């Protein structure tokens, strides 16, 4: 997701701001901007430290878990959540799974529904753990089906060492196999960090 002033943010998170410090159009020798943003702005990675006080920071995450073969699950059938049935068709060796839901359309089409964001149910998280998944990504700003609750999906996945990627832009991406490239900013002891995430055809 591109970072820009006025972009969507999780309720209560700091908004993204870009302020020019020096500008070519006013005679400065170069352009330079000041950025203000939360650690979970736009497309970002959640580190265990996001919910676990003794969890690893984003700078300590295993790059092998963040990069490699992945599977995109098309869960854009209009449900208000991603239930455990969405995991049924995954190939057995899938260790990185991204869920495309109705959320992606909201980022690109202003006419799309503005209802509650689609997230994962706790049984879905447990089904993924049972398959040995190391990374789970969603196209919403939170992986939770109900972000106002106790964040059970975050706690379940992060507590078992599974990396979470949120805010993906997957509109127009068919379900199936891909090669994932995900590199979060290397923020020391960070609870999370914006990331550039790219899918290549497998």
Which residues does the annotation mark as catalytic?
A: 50
Q: What distance in Å separates the CA atoms of residue 158 and residue 172, rounded to the nearest whole number? A: 28
Q: Are 171 and 132 in contact (CB under 8 A)?
A: no
Q: Are 141 and 8 in contact (CB under 8 A)?
A: yes
Indicate the pairing of strand 96-100 with strand 68-74: parallel
């Amino acid at each position: 997701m591109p970072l820009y002033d006025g972009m969507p943010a999780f309720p209560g998170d700091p908004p993204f701001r870009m302020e020019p410090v020096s500008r070519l159009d006013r005679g400065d020798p170069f352009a330079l901007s000041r950025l203000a943003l939360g650690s979970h702005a736009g497309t970002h990675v959640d580190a265990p430290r996001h919910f676990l006080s003794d969890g690893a920071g984003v700078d300590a995450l295993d790059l092998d878990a963040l990069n490699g073969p992945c599977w995109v699950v098309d869960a854009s059938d209009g449900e208000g959540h991603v239930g455990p049935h969405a995991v049924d068709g995954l190939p057995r060796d899938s260790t990185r799974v991204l869920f495309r839901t109705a959320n992606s359309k909201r980022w690109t089409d202003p006419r799309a529904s503005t209802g509650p964001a689609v997230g994962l149910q706790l049984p879905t998280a447990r089904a993924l753990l049972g398959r040995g998944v190391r990374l789970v990504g969603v196209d919403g700003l939170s992986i939770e089906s109900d972000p106002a609750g106790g964040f059970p999906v975050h706690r379940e996945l992060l507590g078992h060492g599974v990396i979470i990627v949120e805010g993906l832009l997957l509109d127009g991406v068919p379900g199936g196999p891909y090669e994932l490239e995900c590199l979060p900013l290397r923020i020391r002891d960070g609870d999370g960090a914006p990331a550039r995430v790219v899918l290549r055809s497998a």
